[in-house]
Amino acid sequence: MPIAQDLIPELEAACKDLLWRSEADYPFEVAAVPITKASPSINVELLATYPDATPVAIVSLEKFFAQSIVERSWFDSRELTLVQRYRNLRDLLETTLENPQVYRIGSVEIDVYLLGKTEDDQVIGVKTKVVET
């Protein structure tokens, strides 16, 4: 498992020009959540910037990527390339982060964080936005 400093360039490369498809397409970006000794929880630190009643769902990487990593017989080469890029991002997060989770925060325009811990106890990953009406 790498340290955060070594993983960030890999995440940036995996996210370059990669959009998450929903009712509106949004880019993936590298995300880091500072964890303090006072509140060593990803949930606490991540949710601190949202109103108290904001809906939160935590799902696995598999569930988040489930539909996007399936090759369909009618896909053209562009769509097959996108499927492979989603698989590569999922695999990178799974193999380099401890206990990676997906945090879906909000409703309709949902902030999505795919985060886990690195060897040096930093919380990093990627973020995007999903629109679901």
Of 38 and 81, which is predicted with more confidence?
81
* C-alpha to C-alpha distance for 118 and 100, rounded to whole angstroms: 10
What is the count of structural domains for the chain?
Answer: 1
Range 8-30 average pLDDT = 96
Mean pLDDT estimate for the chain: 92
CATH number, domain of 50, equals: 3.40.1460.10
**For residue range 68-99, what is the model confidence (pLDDT) as tens digits?**
999 999 999 999 999 999 999 999 999 999 99
Chain-centre distance of CA 28, in angstroms? Answer: 8
Range of the domain at 97: 4-131
pLDDT at 39 over 60: no
Range 90-116 average pLDDT = 96
